[in-house]
Structure 1
Amino acid sequence: MSTPTQTQPTTAELRQALPLVTVRGLDVAYGDQPVLSGVNLDLRPGEMVALLGASGSGKSTLMKSLTGFAPITGGSVRVVGYDVTNLLRGELQKLRSDVGQVFQQFNLIPRMSVLTNVLTGALHAAGPVNLAGGFSGKHRKLAMHYLDRVGIAHKAKDPARSLSGGQQQRVAIARALMQQPRVILADEPVASLDPKLADSVLELLRGIATEDGIPVLVSLHVLPLALAHSDRIVGLRHGEMLVSAPTARLDAAKLAGLYSQEGANHDDDGA
């Protein structure tokens, strides 16, 4: 009798796995100014979750709370096995090395090559190195692999400043992948890109979530992009969660309340 071959889990199976991020009843306040109140969130392997809300709704603060950069004043936050509310400094550093981050501002080193910028994503693993030549051949091969994956391996030797905005964001994504992250947080990653480039970058991020089983939380401010590129949508208004549901159950009309004075009805699937 032949033995069964081991197969990779399907995307559907990944999304039924235990969450890598679990947030329950999260409160965040700066002094006496509350920013988030009673927020719940799950991020499972293989899914891309869009985070929506008007400016000041608490989107960036929610992302910061997942890596200990925001003052958690209530509730619980667990990320890839870490209890973020009770971590020591060394443990926080380990957690942050497990979380890849992509920002609106690409945060590249303009004069350095594309390859070197991607290699900086491995600094936590490589230890102190000379950026000009201190990375191992293994790291360089891996960086080229990720540059090829995001479609710009041919730009490896070019200075980062010579690339277009969309290309620079792809470099930033490759740099995040160099961390071997277990979760990716993307804070307004397409805000400075035109619609075509925005679509391509979000398609890339969703592909990473699906193919690698890495959950991606991406904050956006354009409803059609969220509806087109996410598996679930979480919506905040004035620091409270008003929407948490599969994207297939939502449309622009149901999400419009996130940006209105009246707010929207809660649509919560328990996430």
Structure 2
Amino acid sequence: MTSARTASARSATTADGSPVVLVRDLKVAYGDTPVLDGVDLDLAAGETVALLGASGSGKSTLMKALTGFAPITGGTAHVAGHDVPNLARGELRHLRADVGQVFQQFNLVPRLSVLTNVLTGALHAAGPINLVGGFRSEHRRLAMHYLDRVGIAHKATDQARTLSGGQQQRVAIARALMQQPRVILADEPVASLDPRLADEVLELLRGIARDDGIPVLVSLHVLPLALTHSDRIVGLRNGQVLVTGRTTALRREDLSVLYDDAEEAGDDSDD
């Protein structure tokens, strides 16, 4: 097993020395049932961190805790300048506006156009004009910019339901970018895609992190994808961090402790 102390020689910090996300000794419990137990996590501008673990390891709960959707019962979580455990209910909206989210099921409105789906990412900033279905021209220009950024501007007028799964996930990423987020959380974003499309979507997310300076935390359960498309890996099992380090310093054997068998890890290779 490889720990943070042995696999990673440098901490994840931004240019001014502070991480965009800083989590220490985070605990989440539902009643008497602990789900996360003492999790530490850093996310720096420009990096992609893969969150690994089997089903039930706590990956989705950690994502929810970072946006105030899971009950933090101990520890600290600072996300994009927000002290998450101490936010008042009315302040959670500002936190969630700073966090772009990408989901496994895309969460698009099928009958709306691709462009309109992306524009919904600007609802927080656009204000009451959206109550009557309008968006300002600058929002439309920005939405087209992000559609071009993810390589799907030519589908802007198509209904979202007519797109392939990989195309729909690109729309969802453009929608997240429309928020002007300070961090992106992607919860199993390629679980429903075939391997080729999964590689394309993860490479797109990593390029956004690298080129736009937006850190990306992407939860996965497939080892080869994490090893190919991340800068660092954090591995959870039973709500605890068992493995963390630079991806280049980790081997498949180091990560096998997260799973009961190779099939569960999505790794059917012989090497």
What letter is aligned with 1:230? S
What letter is aligned with 2:155? K
The answer to whether 1:200 aligns with 2:196 is: no
- Identical aligned pairs, as a percentage? 76
What letter is aligned with 2:91? E
For 1:142-153, what aligned pairs fall within 5 Å after superposition? 142-153=142-153
1:243 maps to what in 2?
243
**TM-score between the two structures when normalised by the length of structure 2:** 0.89
1:172 maps to what in 2?
172
The answer to whether 1:97 aligns with 2:97 is: yes
Cα distance in 1 between the residues matched to 2:227 and 2:58: 20
Cα distance in 1 between the residues matched to 2:179 and 2:157: 21
1:33 maps to what in 2?
33
What letter is aligned with 1:38? G
**C-alpha distance after superposition, 1:187-212 (max 9, x if no partner):** 00000000000000001000000011
2:6 maps to what in 1?
none
Shift, 1:253, TM fit = 1.3
Is contact 2:13–2:19 with CA below 8 Å preserved after alignment? no
Shift, 1:156, TM fit = 0.1
1:74 maps to what in 2?
74
Cα distance in 1 between the residues matched to 2:240 and 2:130: 45
Q: Does the C-alpha gap of structure 1 residues 140 and 167 become closer, same or farther in structure 2, counting only changes over 3 Å?
A: same
Deviating beyond 3 angstroms after TM superposition, the runs of 4 or more aligned structure 1 residues are: 12-17, 129-133
Cα distance in 1 between the residues matched to 2:239 and 2:90: 29
2:123 maps to what in 1?
123
Moved more, 250-259 or 135-144: 250-259
Higher relative CO (CA 8 A, sep ≥ 6), structure 1 or 2? 2
Cα distance in 2 between the residues matched to 1:195 and 1:15: 35
**C-alpha distance after superposition, 1:112-171 (max 9, x if no partner):** 000000000000001234478500000000000000010010000000000000000000
2:84 maps to what in 1?
84
The answer to whether 1:63 aligns with 2:58 is: no
Q: Does the C-alpha gap of structure 1 residues 172 and 225 become closer, same or farther in structure 2, counting only changes over 3 Å?
A: same
2:228 maps to what in 1?
228
Cα distance in 2 between the residues matched to 1:195 and 1:17: 37
The answer to whether 1:185 aligns with 2:217 is: no
2:214 maps to what in 1?
214
RMSD between superposed Cα atoms in Å: 1.6
Cα distance in 2 between the residues matched to 1:66 and 1:239: 15
Is contact 2:123–2:130 with CA below 8 Å preserved after alignment? no
Cα distance in 2 between the residues matched to 1:95 and 1:155: 31
**TM-score between the two structures when normalised by the length of structure 1:** 0.89
1:265 maps to what in 2?
none
